[in-house]
């Protein structure tokens, strides 16, 4: 059955939400292209990307995506760039989509990507396509455009919770001697593993998120929590996901008070850590972050989830906690244009030294 793709103006979210959620129910797509993430992003940042729709012969939705359009800076000038499930504005794209792609009905991924490709070629207002946080085996990376450039590749460090259960819950036995030592020292400093509680109401979640903002003050040069728009996004995301069971806001405490907080996604048998905030170490060798993640591993292993993912990032602490890893990639794909190719050739010829 032939598929057709087209771009349109973004409809009102009240109209888009049921379409998106219906297709999500027929899809194996990631949390990051589901409606909880997508709807929260649209509401909190007020962005207006185009809507990509892929339909079958009966007009039924087979794939959906958001397509941003912006003039991106390049070495030789600004370039008309499309962005998959992003706006193209760095401020609005700060939530950092991962496991990106089209929201596609299960089993239709390859043909939907081909229909998307055909629609791209019919569209004349772009030169490059940015695809962020995509799996290396995504069918979108087979699009036969002019040139594909990988901008970045990041590990996704994970904990295999089946392996934790196979070790009778002894997660530390799966880690290096150095990491085991650091976590055991933190357990001793805190008088045992911390208690875990999940936010149960909107006021409680609001209060805990404010605590996360305070704990993150001054911790990073580029602190997302200092951005009101990002905080609004996380607040909307947590509240929507708390109601649906897709997001947990966890607080870790001991007799001395708060040890840390985590915002985690729960999706298709996996837990994914998205945001964190930790109290200051109580001793020079205290590691509250490692302690909270170790407690979260035990928490999700007991709930019989399959993986605890630390999501993309090259941080050393993520590697030290992991028992396995995969990768995500960031790509820029450029289209073929006879006019642009001719202009590029002329630029190259103008730079060549004159012959003797």
Residue 97 is given by DSSP the state -
Flag whether pLDDT at 10 surpasses 50. yes
Question: Which CA distances in Å does 148 have to 130, 145, 332?
Answer: 10, 8, 6
The residue to which tokens 């379409």 are assigned = 19
**DSSP conformational letter for 353:** P
DSSP letter assigned to residue 219: T
Q: Which two tokens stand for residue 144?
A: 């036969």
User: What pLDDT shows up at residue 208?
Assistant: 98
Over residues 135-152, mean pLDDT: 87
CB 115 within 8 A of CB 69: no
Q: pLDDT-based confidence at 216, cuts 50/70/90? A: very high
pLDDT at 339 over 60: no
Looking at every residue in the chain, the average pLDDT score rounds to 93
Residue 218 has a pLDDT of: 81
Q: Are 227 and 45 in contact (CB under 8 A)?
A: no
Q: What is the pLDDT of residue 73?
A: 85
Please report the pLDDT score of residue 348 as a whole number: 56
Taking 3-state DSSP, the helix, strand and coil percentages for the chain, each rounded to the nearest 5, stand at 40, 30, 30
Stretch 57-62: mean pLDDT: 96
| pLDDT higher than 80, residue 239 | yes
Beta strands 128-134 and 324-334, pairing class: antiparallel
Inform me whether the pLDDT recorded for 4 exceeds 90.
yes
Distance between CA atoms of residues 199 and 27, nearest Å: 29
**pLDDT of the residue at 268:** 96
| Structure-model confidence comparison of residues 352 and 46, the more confident one | 46
Cα(66)–Cα(291) distance, integer angstroms: 38
Q: CA 174 to CA 86: how far, in whole Å?
A: 37
- The C-alpha atoms of residue 295 and residue 197 are separated, in whole angstroms, by 11
- Residue 275: which of 320, 211, 204 has the closest Cα? 211
Quickly state the pLDDT bin for 147 (edges 50, 70, 90): confident
CA 86 to chain centre: 11
Q: Is the pLDDT of residue 346 over 70?
A: no
Tally of CB atoms within 10 A around 146:
13
The arithmetic mean of pLDDT across residues 208-230, rounded, is 92
Q: What is the DSSP letter of 139?
A: G
| Mean pLDDT for the stretch of residues 193-213 | 98
Instruction: Please name which of 226, 215, 321, 331 lies closest in space to residue 273, comparing C-alpha atoms.
Output: 321
């Amino acid at each position: 059955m032939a598929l057709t793709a087209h771009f349109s103006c973004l409809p009102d979210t009240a109209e888009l939400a049921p379409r998106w959620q219906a297709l999500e129910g027929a899809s194996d797509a990631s949390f990051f292209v589901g409606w909880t993430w997508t709807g929260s992003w649209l509401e909190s940042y007020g962005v207006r990307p185009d809507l990509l729709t892929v339909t079958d012969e009966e007009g039924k939705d087979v794939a959906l995506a958001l397509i941003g359009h912006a003039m991106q800076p390049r070495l030789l000038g600004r370039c008309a760039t499309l962005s998959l499930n992003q706006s193209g504005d760095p401020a609005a794209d700060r939530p950092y989509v991962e496991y990106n792609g089209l929201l596609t009905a299960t089993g239709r991924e390859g043909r939907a990507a081909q229909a998307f490709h055909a629609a791209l070629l019919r569209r004349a207002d772009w030169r490059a396509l940015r695809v962020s946080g995509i799996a290396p085996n995504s069918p979108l990376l087979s699009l036969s455009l002019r040139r594909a450039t990988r901008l970045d590749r990041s590990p996704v460090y994970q904990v295999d919770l089946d392996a934790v259960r196979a070790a009778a819950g002894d997660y530390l036995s799966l880690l290096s001697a150095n990491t085991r030592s650091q976590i055991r020292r933190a357990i001793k400093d805190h008088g045992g593993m911390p208690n875990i509680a999940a936010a149960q109401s909107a006021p409680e979640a609001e209060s805990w998120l404010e605590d996360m903002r305070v704990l993150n003050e001054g911790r990073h040069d580029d602190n997302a929590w200092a951005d009101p728009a990002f905080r609004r996004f996380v607040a909307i995301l947590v509240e929507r996901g708390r109601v649906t069971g897709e997001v947990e806001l966890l607080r870790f405490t001991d007799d001395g008070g708060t040890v840390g907080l985590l915002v985690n996604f729960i999706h298709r048998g996996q837990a994914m850590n998205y945001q964190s905030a930790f109290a200051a170490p109580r001793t020079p060798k205290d590691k509250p972050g490692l302690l909270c993640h170790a407690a979260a591993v035990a928490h999700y292993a007991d709930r019989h989830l399959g993986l605890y993912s630390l999501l993309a990032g090259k941080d050393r602490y993520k590697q030290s906690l992991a028992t396995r890893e995969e990768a995500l990639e960031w790509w820029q794909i450029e289209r073929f244009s006879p006019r642009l190719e001719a202009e590029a050739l002329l630029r190259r010829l103008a730079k060549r030294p004159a012959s003797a």
